[in-house]
Structure 1
Amino acid sequence: MSDGSTAPLIDYRGNCHCGAFKFTFKAPALKQAYACNCSFCSKNGYLWAFPATSEDFVVVKGDEDSTLKTYEFGKHTMAHKFCPTCGTSVMARKHSGPGVGINIRALVDVDTATLEVITSDGAATEPPYQIPEPLAAGPVAEGTTVYTGSCHCGAVGYNVQSPEPITVAAACNCSICHRDAAMWIYVKTTAVSFKGLDSLVEYTFGLKRTYHGFCGTCGVAINERFPTADREWRTALNIRTMNGVDLAAIDLELHDGKAKLPVYQV
């Protein structure tokens, strides 16, 4: 997709987290990112960039159709592609005419905090998204708030009983959380119930102290599991997947996971 610019083209490179899929593309220097508020883009926290032309997008490792998995919804005009191993949402391609969108979060050495974000109202143009049937909660203690959520396709769902309303979440800049645009809350594992765990794919790396869970059908990041004895009492949930939560009203605490060792390499 070309924006008609005559500015010099910059070479950008990116990859899914596990490195099974790597690519390059050319575009004018990225100063803006495009976000969409549709049901899928908001769950993924996409920040879009567009190569100067479709030919300026080049796969250097893997294959767009076999290495990546495709998910479609609504009118099925666009194929969203994610890595089925690590869950990184990499790109999307229109079915008709030219048009490749790249998730900026998958790029190497691009500081997304410096980009001006321009939001489009995709929620108004897609067919109305039908929220998957929520997982019913069992007995609820007085004063407890029950939140429900799911991936986009509804294969994986959950509910969580919270002693107080959710107003704060954590945003981590580590190599995987940044790619997932996750907004984490940490709750007691005993307060969460899941359905569809056979559709949940887990991915771990580094010290293998955290298992990142995403839907194997639509690729949406849902939770983090901590298997070590000192941390298994808690579970992290990505509130981007929660029903009825106003993300704009959530206070974000920034965690510098990028500074922790070992250094991410792919």
Structure 2
Amino acid sequence: MSAEQLIEYRGNCHCGAFKFTFKAAALKQAYACNCSFCSKNGYLWAFPATSEDFVVVKGDEDSTLKTYEFGKRTMAHKFCPTCGTSVMARIHSRQAVGINIRALVDVDTATLEVITSDGAATEPPYQIPEPLAVGPVAEGTTVYTGSCHCGAVGYNVLSLKPLTAATACNCSICHRDAAVWIYPDTTTVSFKGLDSLVEYSFGQKESIHGFCGTCGVAIRERFDGSDFDWTTAINIRTMNGLDMAAMDITMDDGKARLPVYEVP
């Protein structure tokens, strides 16, 4: 493949601490994986033509980003410890770089053909972290459990009705996190490990995003001091045993709300 056929793409974590470029053929496809970690992160992968075609513009891959590995440790997943954006991964066996397309600037992921690989079948069986204990619940109540990937942060949601619908958002942070939200009353949600939760807010600071400081998985939003402070948003990608394909997911056009996000 000649250099003339390559396009240079730009990307960054949300807070702008880490910025990069990479060259690849025009992005028409994205690669997804159904393994335990990629599923929680909603990764959409792209791969530079060569490892040399990935260039760090700001920050340092090893000191600005935090690394998380699991299973056979075949990949070093890297995320920003300030804003939680999962940026990239190093594939040890091939000395290759995988880029999370969601971190790119000016790429419409909705136009990409998504090709899914069965990573769940090749990794060692993922052991779901021990759920948060729950006491007696009212008859007819369903208990939904979930956690980040490493299990440092977990939660329960009590619901009188089965979960059938959720909301995705295309704003600058939710898009990067691939978050899909439900909005239960805060009184129905219990957490463990909140000392491991890192919080990040930006813009008008109307919502506070929380992600695991160890594995980087986005878990919740809270809305202190706003009209929505009665609710806690939960990212259903982190729920145990929930069939995402069966959910009615609508899109919230957060990208259209002011102020317009600008890369710091």
Same fold (TM over 0.5): yes
SS in structure 2 of the partner of residue 43 of structure 1: helix
> 1:63: Cα distance to partner?
0.2
Residue in 2 aligned with 1:244? 241
> 1:231: Cα distance to partner?
1.8
1:168 matched to 2:165? The reply is yes
Matched residues in 2 for 1:145 and 1:130: separation? Answer: 22
> 1:230: Cα distance to partner?
2.5
SS in structure 2 of the partner of residue 12 of structure 1: strand
Matched residues in 1 for 2:228 and 2:48: separation? Answer: 42
- Identity value in percent: 83
> 1:163: Cα distance to partner?
1.3
Matched residues in 2 for 1:232 and 1:249: separation? Answer: 29
Residue in 1 aligned with 2:181? 184
Structure 2 vs 1, CA of residues 145 and 178 (structure 1 numbering), >3 Å: closer, same or farther? same
Deviates more, 1:229-238 or 1:200-209: 229-238
Residue in 2 aligned with 1:78? 75
Contact 1:147 1:161 in 2 (8 A): yes
Deviations 1:76-130 (A, max 9, x none): 1110000000000000002233210000000000000000000000000000000
1:232 matched to 2:229? The reply is yes
SS in structure 2 of the partner of residue 105 of structure 1: helix
> 1:6: Cα distance to partner?
8.3
Give matches, 1:40-79, under 5 Å: 40-79=37-76
> Which runs of structure 1 show a deviation greater than 2 angstroms over 4 or more consecutive aligned residues?
4-7, 95-98
- What residue ranges of structure 2 are gaps of 5+ in the alignment? none
What TM-score do the two structures reach when normalised by structure 1? Answer: 0.97
Contact 2:206 2:226 in 1 (8 A): no
Matched residues in 2 for 1:229 and 1:126: separation? Answer: 42
> 1:5: Cα distance to partner?
8.2
What TM-score do the two structures reach when normalised by structure 2? Answer: 0.98
Deviations 1:39-86 (A, max 9, x none): 000000000000000000000000000000000000011100000000
Residue in 1 aligned with 2:92? 95
Deviations 1:8-50 (A, max 9, x none): 1001000000000000000000000000000000000000000
Matched residues in 2 for 1:141 and 1:81: separation? Answer: 42
Structure 2 vs 1, CA of residues 259 and 229 (structure 1 numbering), >3 Å: closer, same or farther? closer
Q: RMSD over aligned Cα, in angstroms?
A: 1.1
Residue in 2 aligned with 1:147? 144
Matched residues in 2 for 1:156 and 1:102: separation? Answer: 26
Structure 2 vs 1, CA of residues 72 and 31 (structure 1 numbering), >3 Å: closer, same or farther? same
1:106 maps to a residue whose letter is: A
Matched residues in 2 for 1:178 and 1:163: separation? Answer: 29
1:162 maps to a residue whose letter is: S
Residue in 1 aligned with 2:114? 117
Matched residues in 2 for 1:66 and 1:189: separation? Answer: 36
Structure 2 vs 1, CA of residues 138 and 7 (structure 1 numbering), >3 Å: closer, same or farther? farther
Contact 1:5 1:28 in 2 (8 A): no
Give the total of aligned pairs.
Answer: 263
